Amino acid sequence: MTELPRRATRPEWISGKKARMEAENTWIVVWITLHVAALAVAYGTRVAAGSRLEILSQFVFFAAMLMVAFAIWACQQVHAGAWGLSSVTLIAMVLTAVVDFRKFGEHRSVGQMY
């Protein structure tokens, strides 16, 4: 069996160019921070319901939704596989802002629900 030269066993040198990552670490950190902050804003929208901050939190929520939607679009344009995770974040944002989780703990009969 012929042994390949050491140079051929290292993938970064097969093409003659050094390998590089698709995204810089800073962009990955920004992407994760954007999604965590968007989920926090969605929760803040639910917490601020009925208060003086409700309208402000809704505007911030819609801005966060636009940023996550832009992240989905950008990931699809550069063929990054992270657009699915951004879509899940967008769905989780909508569910967090819309669903009233406080009512899950209450026990009511069927007649009281309507």
Per-residue pLDDT tens for 5-20? 555 555 555 555 554 4
Per-residue pLDDT tens for 43-64? 999 888 888 998 999 999 999 9
* CA-wise closest residue to 55 among 45, 65, 64: 45
Range of the domain at 77: 22-100
- DSSP per-residue string spanning 45-101: HHHTTTSTTHHHHHHHHHHHHHHHHHHHHHHHHTT-TTHHHHHHHHHHHHHHHH--G
How many structural domains comprise the chain?
Answer: 1
Contact 88, 35 (CB under 8 A): no
Task: Indicate whether 61 belongs to any domain.
Answer: yes
Per-residue pLDDT tens for 54-98? 899 999 999 999 999 998 898 888 777 788 888 999 999 999 888
Task: Indicate whether 111 belongs to any domain.
Answer: no
Task: Indicate whether 16 belongs to any domain.
Answer: no
- Rounded Cα distance between 11 and 49, Å, is 55
Claim: this prediction has a pTM higher than 0.85 = no
Task: Indicate whether 52 belongs to any domain.
Answer: yes
Task: Indicate whether 76 belongs to any domain.
Answer: yes
Task: Indicate whether 75 belongs to any domain.
Answer: yes
